[in-house]
Amino acid sequence: MTTFEPGFLWGAATSSYQIEGAVAEDGRLPSIWDTFCATPGKVDNGDSGAVAADHYHRYPEDVAIMRELGLGAYRFSIAWPRVQPLGSGAANERGLDFYRRLVDTLLDNDIQPWPTLYHWDLPQPLEDAGGWPERDTALRFAEYAQIVHEALGDRVAHWTTLNEPWCSAFLGYATGRHAPGRQEPAASIRAAHHLLLGHGLAVQAMPDARVGITLNLSHVTAGSNADEDVDAARRIDGMQNRIFLDPLLLAEYPADVMRDLEPVTDFGFVQEDDLKTIAAPIDFLGVNYYSPMLVGHGTEARPSAYVGSEHVQHLDGGRARTSIGWEIDPHGLLDLLLRLDREYPDVPLYVTENGAAFDDEVHDAGRVAYLDGHVRACAEAISRGVALKGYFAWSLLDNFEWSFGYAQRFGLVHVDYDTQRRTPKDSARWYAGVIRRGGL
Ligand code: FCB
């Protein structure tokens, strides 16, 4: 049997726009995702988060499910457009009240609330003013963080500033595959910096809180030992991992990444002391891991999320894939955790997302196998000395999977979108057993 320490935190994760619905209730105004979904051709099947899993109204039932599973923590996100519908100015108390109710219900059920302040739903007026490429958005984010912390700080111990700034910056502003759908590679680098700056300013705005950030990191391997392929892997590692890890944990942008980006930007938007702000000590690093990356040099440049490295090709590693097309490789998670421990020691780690999309409904052997393999990788990492403190499965519920709409189901719990009926899948029962036994 593989066991974990009794204090190891077992949780599940969701995000506001993917589950809440109720997009026009209690004073909420549109975010960039409402706008993006309303733009023809952006989201599969024309889907949107307007209703989603109706969690806004059904949260008591959802917390009851969490309790049945035995979750120690629930990672959710707070919708900025509920709290500050215009992205600035006074707080909307009715929006905050929803999170007060949710947090209280979690605490009544002995489930630790793990809120994330930003899981991509930027208030539309801030995008209209230029969005994350503008420095002002970082200042607005810190103001919002302060409002939420003042409202919930007495009840919430662990805070996460951002979820996956890589997606916000590079899918939002380089490829345009995510909201706001802009295709402006140079602006996407400014967005990345201002997201990081917003994180650092938010840390300052929440004194005495335990604060972390969640990154989507990947283990990147070169397709061959040829210099060009090795260089491709260095570049993608730079733009996926180090462009965030180094400022946050080493107070600098990686020199090689800045060199790769020379044709795109001179980093003139980085002001004195920004890196000091960004590198304010954090209490934990959240790691979202789904799939490894195998890359090689390509001859043809194509528009890419990897700005400045558009000629790099993504290669097929020959492994089985989930229904969303992502290769399955628990070893990639182990390699990633070992690397973080080696190169960025001293910061406790949590896997804040890990999971799989499959078309199966309630009998989801594929998802059980995926989770089992990745939880084993976590155990192996811990046995090799990695300070991994917890694991959150993505996701508690089937939900709105961004540009894929409702077609991709990641939930431990099945949601029938016609009736909103919740049915725990085999993976939910499996996970409850892992939590009960404290291991596999
Ligand atoms: C991550 C996101 C999360 C979900 C999973 C599948 O990139 O943080 O919202 O969409 O992927």
DSSP annotation string for 419-435: TTEEEE-HHHHHHHHHH
Cβ-count burial of 110 within 10 angstroms (0-12 exposed, 13-18 middle, 19+ buried)?
exposed
Interior/surface letters 181-216, b for 16+ CB within 10 angstroms, e for the rest: bbeebbbbbbbbbbbbbbbbbbbebbeebebbbbbb
Q: If DSSP codes are grouped into helix, strand and coil, which group holds residue 84?
A: coil
Any idea which residues carry the catalytic annotation?
Answer: 164, 353
User: Quick one: which atom of ligand 1 is closest to the CA of 167?
Assistant: 7
Task: Name the residue of 164, 195, 293 whose CB sits within 8 Å of the most ligand 1 atoms, as the mutation to test its pocket.
Answer: 164
User: Which of 120, 213, 402, 408 to mutate for ligand 1's pocket (most ligand atoms within 8 Å of CB)?
Assistant: 402
Per the omega criterion (within 30 degrees of 0), is the bond before 180 cis?
Answer: yes
Distance 159 CA to ligand 1 centre (A): 18
Atom of ligand 1 nearest to the CA of 402: 10
Element (H, E) at 76: strand 73-77
pLDDT-based confidence at residue 108 (cuts at 50, 70, 90): very high
Query: Reduced to 3 states, what is the DSSP secondary structure of residue 328?
Result: coil
Query: What DSSP string describes 275-305?
Result: HHHHT---SEEEEE----EEEEE-SS----S
Q: Pick from 284, 148, 152, 267: which is nearest to 215 by CA? A: 284
Helix (H/G/I), strand (E/B), else coil: 75 = strand
The C-alpha atoms of residue 396 and residue 427 are separated, in whole angstroms, by 10
- Rounded to the nearest angstrom, the distance between the alpha carbon of 272 and the centre of ligand 1 is 33
Question: How far apart, in whole angstroms, are the C-alpha atoms of residue 137 and residue 39?
Answer: 23
For 98, the token pair is: 């929803």
The per-residue pLDDT for range 317-349, each reduced to its tens digit, is 999 999 999 999 999 999 999 999 999 998 999
Q: Is the pLDDT of residue 142 over 90?
A: yes
285 within 8 A of 215, measured Cβ to Cβ: yes
DSSP string spanning 233-244? HHHHHIIIIIHH
Give the model confidence (pLDDT) of 49-83 as tens digits: 999 999 999 999 999 999 999 999 999 999 999 99
**299 C-alpha to center of ligand 1: Å?**
31
Task: Please state, in angstroms and as integers, the Cα–Cα distance from residue 287 to each residue in 51, 213, 223, 239, 275, following that order.
Answer: 29, 9, 24, 16, 21
Look at residues 233, 386, 211 and name the one whose alpha carbon lies nearest to residue 312: 233
Q: Has residue 190 been placed in a domain? A: yes
* CA of residue 111 relative to chain centroid, distance: 20
Q: Is residue 2 part of a domain?
A: no
Q: Write out the binding residues for substrate.
A: 18, 119, 163, 290, 394, 401-402
Residues with CB under 6 A from ligand 1: 15, 18, 163-164, 167, 216, 288, 353, 394, 401-402, 410
415 in Cβ contact with 397 (< 8 Å): yes
Expressed in angstroms and rounded, the spacing between residue 172 Cα and the centre of ligand 1 is 14
Total number of domains constituting the chain: 1
Residue 229's domain spans which residues?
9-437
1 lies in some domain: no
Per-residue pLDDT at 360: 80
Residue 32 lies in a domain: yes
Which of ligand 1's atoms lies nearest the C-alpha of 410? 6
Residue 316 DSSP class = P
Please indicate, yes or no, if residue 91 is contained in any of the structural domains: yes
> In this structure, is residue 189 part of a structural domain?
yes
Residue of 118, 401, 412 to test ligand 1 pocket, by largest number of atoms within 8 Å of CB: 401
Residue 4 lies in a domain: no
d(CA 424, CA 68): 10
pLDDT digits (tens, 9 = 90+) for 223-279: 999 999 999 999 999 999 999 999 999 999 999 999 999 999 999 999 999 999 999
Question: 354-395, pLDDT tens digit by residue?
Answer: 999 999 889 999 999 999 999 999 999 999 999 999 999 999
Q: Work out which ligand 1 atom sits closest to the CA atom of 214.
A: 8
Residue 3 included in any domain:
no
Report the distance separating Cα 424 and Cα 427, nearest Å. 8
Is the pLDDT confidence value at 213 over 90? yes
Strands (E) across 348-387 are located at: 349-353
Residue nearest to atom 9 of ligand 1 (CA): 15
How does strand 293-297 pair with strand 312-314? antiparallel
Q: How many CA atoms lie within 13 A of 293 on its CB side?
A: 25
Query: Which residue's CA is the nearest one to ligand 1's atom 4?
Result: 401
pLDDT tens, position by position, 168-187: 999 999 999 999 999 999 99
The closest residue, in CA terms, to atom 10 on ligand 1 is 401
Distance CA 138, CA 210 (A): 20
Do 328 and 434 touch, CB atoms closer than 8 A? no
Cα–ligand 1 centroid distance for 179 (angstroms): 14
**CATH number, domain at 414?**
3.20.20.80
Report CA(395)–ligand 1 centroid distance (Å): 9
